[in-house]
Amino acid sequence: MSARMYVVGALLALLVPALAHAWPVDLVVPLEPGKERFHKLDTVDWVQVADASVADAELLPGSNELLLTGQKAGRTLLLLYAGGRFAVWRLTVGSPPPEDPAPRRPRPARPVRT
């Protein structure tokens, strides 16, 4: 892989939290803390986990297999890139507390003092 691809990957990795929250989740994957799970993929260029303290993802070279490992109870997002397209998976480890179904309202702007 060329140095340019590593630079692009590094820049996109910094944007994972922002990008992952901007797209709907394509797949929900349940995991157990301390256990591993394999996923065979048709093709994949890279993967990035938003919160590595909850789950870890490792792309196994030459096999297009993804090794997912649950670290602790919680939720995190996994961003996958293949063939010029992104996918977002939600990794749910153990039994985390339920998500808040109510959308969050934006806070009103504070008046500016002059």
Domain count, the chain: 1
Is residue 104 included in any domain, yes or no?
no
The answer to whether the predicted template modeling score (pTM) of the entire model surpasses 0.85 is: no
86 or 98, which is more confident? 86
Contact 74, 34 (CB under 8 A): no
Looking up residue 89, the CATH number of its domain turns out to be 2.60.40.1080
Domain that holds residue 33: 25-93
Mind listing the pLDDT tens digit for each residue in 7-48? Answer: 666 656 655 555 545 568 899 999 999 999 999 998 889 999
Contact 58, 35 (CB under 8 A): no
Show the beta-strand stretches assigned E in 27-113. Answer: 27-31, 36-40, 46-49, 55-60, 65-70, 74-82, 85-93
Is residue 66 included in any domain, yes or no?
yes
Is residue 5 included in any domain, yes or no?
no
Is residue 59 included in any domain, yes or no?
yes
Q: What is the DSSP letter of 34?
A: T
Mind listing the pLDDT tens digit for each residue in 50-93? Answer: 999 999 999 998 888 999 999 999 999 999 998 889 999 999 99
